[in-house]
Amino acid sequence: MQKLMLIPLICIGIAFAITAQEPSRISDGEFKGFLPFAGNMSIRYGKSFKVREVCGLILFADDPNIPAVGLEFEIRGPGSEMTIRSSVTDQNGHFCIAGVPEGTYLFKTRLKDCKDNIGTIIKSHKAPHKNIVKLNQQNSD
């Protein structure tokens, strides 16, 4: 079993642009607006992760020297708002979604040959500066 570790960082205006054509998005249900699932399974987190900025470093927890390169990290919200914001991890596993208003967001990760991670992020200026969010990352069966 592989695990992911998400380490929020201070966002300094770094943004990543996706120039390739995106696949179609999910059209209805709980995950409306998100990219389709990479596999047929997902991992849902019951607790909410509280962060100051939606920026971070995603590594495989089984080997913290290996970044999760090309992982798509999406959020939808705040609350019931259907706005999707996203970023893709770079060659070092870093991502940042700048300009995210405070609120509660549904998040979803997507990486080829791995189960998707889904859960809730609360963006708040009251969140501790050094929160570490750990995500379990598993290969698809």
Position 113 pLDDT exceeds 70: yes
Supply the pLDDT for residue 68.
85
Q: What is the DSSP letter of 92?
A: T
pLDDT-based confidence at 12, cuts 50/70/90?
very low
pLDDT digits (tens, 9 = 90+) for 14-50: 444 444 555 688 888 888 898 888 776 777 888 888 9
DSSP per position, 8-49: -----S------SPPPPPP-SSTTTTSPPPSSS-EEEEEEEE
Is the full-model pTM beyond 0.95? no
> What is the token pair recorded at 109?
């990760």
Higher-pLDDT residue of 122 and 128 is 122
Domains and CATH numbers, the chain: 4-15+32-127 (2.60.40)
Mean pLDDT, residues 105-112 taken together: 91
Supply the pLDDT for residue 27.
87
Q: Where are the beta strands (DSSP E) in 53-135?
A: 54-60, 72-76, 84-88, 94-97, 103-110, 116-123, 133-135
